Amino acid sequence: MLRNLVSARTFRNGIRTYLDTHQFGSASVNDFYAAMQSALDDTEYEYQFRVKTVMRSWLNQTTYSLVKVRRNYALGHVYMWRVPKNDTKGVDNTTWTPLAYAMYSSDELFNDTIPTKWLTEDSKNKSFGGVPRHEWIIFNVQQGGECSI
């Protein structure tokens, strides 16, 4: 899943850095996070994030996020927010939830799994406009996010 967030190339670079640095010694999960962060920081990735923060928010969960998406065709807006699942008492709003989507006019369609929006503890909902009425839109491309839409 982390590979879908940072791209295959960045993930490989992070793994390479991690293995090169720790090939003859012991390593911790924090060393892995640091190697991945270094690889991510070396890219021109538009949506920078802290790998350790995102990964810990997922690893400390007992369930995955449920995200609702509502579309206003008249205004061309899309609204997204996290909701409680039926089998949980609420939503842990500290989970970082990546949102990748594809539209009919997208250049990459289903090949680009890099999230363009995030639901975080600071931004529990998101919206964006500019979606033409006649275009379809699909979220969680290639099931790259740790969520159900």
Q: Which two tokens stand for residue 148?
A: 């159900």
Domain limits at 90? 63-143
134 and 103 both lie in a single domain = yes
Q: What is the pLDDT of residue 40?
A: 93
β-pairing, 125-128 vs 77-83, is antiparallel
Q: Which two tokens stand for residue 28?
A: 């911790």
Strand partners, 65: 147
CATH code of 132's domain: 2.60.40.1910
In a domain, 149, yes or no: no
Q: What is the pLDDT of residue 100?
A: 81
User: Phi and psi dihedrals of 68, rounded to 5?
Assistant: -100, 145
State the number of CA atoms in the 13 A half-sphere of 15 facing the CB. Answer: 9
pLDDT in tens, the chain (149 residues): 788 888 889 999 999 999 999 999 999 999 999 999 999 999 887 767 889 988 888 787 777 778 889 999 999 999 988 886 665 555 556 678 888 888 877 666 667 777 888 888 788 888 989 889 998 888 877 665 556 65
Q: What is the pLDDT of residue 79?
A: 93
Strand partners, 72: 77
Which residues, at least 6 apart from 54, have a Cβ–Cβ distance to it below 8 Å? 5, 96, 98
Which residues, at least 6 apart from 62, have a Cβ–Cβ distance to it below 8 Å? none
1 and 48 both lie in a single domain = yes
In a domain, 116, yes or no: yes
Q: What is the pLDDT of residue 78?
A: 93
pLDDT digit string (tens) for 35-48?
999 999 998 877 67
In a domain, 119, yes or no: yes
pTM check: above 0.75: no
